[in-house]
Amino acid sequence: MKNMCECSDQRNPAKTGRRKFLNRLWVFLGCLATLELGWLTISILKSRQANKQSDTKERTITAGNIIDYSPNTVTAIPRGQFYLACLQDGSFLALSRTCTHLGCSIPWDNGEQKFICPCHGSTFDIKGEVLTPPATRALDSYPLKIENGEIRVNIGRSEKRLDNGKPRSVKA
């Protein structure tokens, strides 16, 4: 005695053809989805590797001439996305615009002479050191050097300052 399905398949060959077609379509779509997922994973891994490599590269930009800055001032450098602080003694310091608490962008308040985080109220002095929590460490800084009166900042890598470590300012 034959199975009921086999009998119905033999009587209606259109159902058999349609079923094979749909099964092949599902297999094809499954393979396509697997390939796309694999491509996406490889793309993400390659971009992360490229970011790690580019972070170690030296990307130096010129922030201006030393005579353009007055002592005890902070200037935003939009092209490099950092602040250039000219300290009281005439030395320079390049500070990150990112709060070390949760990564909010922090503005310099010229009236209060400090950086004030709009997200959670952390404040930092002109050297980037924490004045009030919740931030627990100083602002990151960028290495800089002065050549022929021009200030050059390497924005390719930031330096974390743990426990309010002293920033490496460069004297003009």
Q: Which whole number is the average pLDDT over 130-157?
A: 90
- Tell me the CA end-to-end span of the chain in Å, nearest whole number: 100
Q: Which whole number is the average pLDDT over 37-66?
A: 77
State percent of the chain over pLDDT 90.
47
Which residue did the predictor score with more confidence, 139 or 56?
139
What span, in angstroms and rounded, lies between the C-alpha atoms of 96 and 63? 14
105-112, long-range: CB < 8 A, 24+ apart: 106/139, 108/74, 108/76, 108/83, 110/74
What are the C-alpha distances in Å from 18 to residues 24, 26, 29, 81? 10, 12, 16, 60
Checking DSSP bridges between strand 144-147 and strand 91-96, what pairing results, if any? unpaired
This model's pTM is above 0.95: no
Is residue 80 within 8 Å of residue 157, measured between CB atoms?
A: no
Helix (H) or strand (E) holding 69: none
- Is it the case that residue 108 has pLDDT exceeding 90? yes
- Which tens digits make up the pLDDT trace of 64-104? 899 999 999 999 999 888 999 999 988 999 999 999 888 89
Q: How many residues does the chain have?
A: 172
Written as six digits, the tokens of 11 are: 């009587």
Q: Which amino acid is at 82?
A: F
